Amino acid sequence: MAEKGRGDVLQGTLDMLVLKSLQLGPMHGWGITERLETGSERVFQVGQGSLYPALYRLERQGYIASDWGVTENNRQARFYKLTSSGRKRLAEERATWARMSRAVELVLRMGEAEA
């Protein structure tokens, strides 16, 4: 039901995007969806149904940690922050992603004349 041009986060990249969004600083779940949507110029629509499981998964794997905190408008919310192993993980995922996207690009350009 998504609008044209908008879509779910690419399979398998959500974890990396969540980690990236937390690299900017600790944030609660709602804030993370906002960061991802703004950051992707509203291309990504992050469903809560995949965000929270992803957060719990990452927390269990030790890449992020969480604690209750207070938002700017004084509300209780659970804040997530990147751990050092999360930072490492993000770097690895980024490297993999870079390699993959280059490879995909190359394949797509196969047979097309070089400009």
Site for other proteins, rule CB under 8 A: 28-30, 47-50, 52-53, 56-57, 60-62, 75-78, 85
Least distance between other proteins and beta carbon 78 (Å): 5
Q: Is the dihedral of CA 38, 81, 93, 15 positive or negative?
A: negative
Burial class of residue 13 in the structure, from the number of CB atoms within 10 Å of its CB (0-12 exposed, 13-18 middle, 19+ buried): middle
Q: At what angle do helices 48-61 and 29-39 cross, to 10 degrees?
A: 110
Nearest residue (CB) to other proteins, 57 versus 87: 57
- Nearest residue (CB) to other proteins, 16 versus 89: 89
CB of 111 to other proteins, least distance (A): 29
Copy the structure tokens of residue 76.
């209780």
77 versus 104: smaller Cβ distance to other proteins: 77
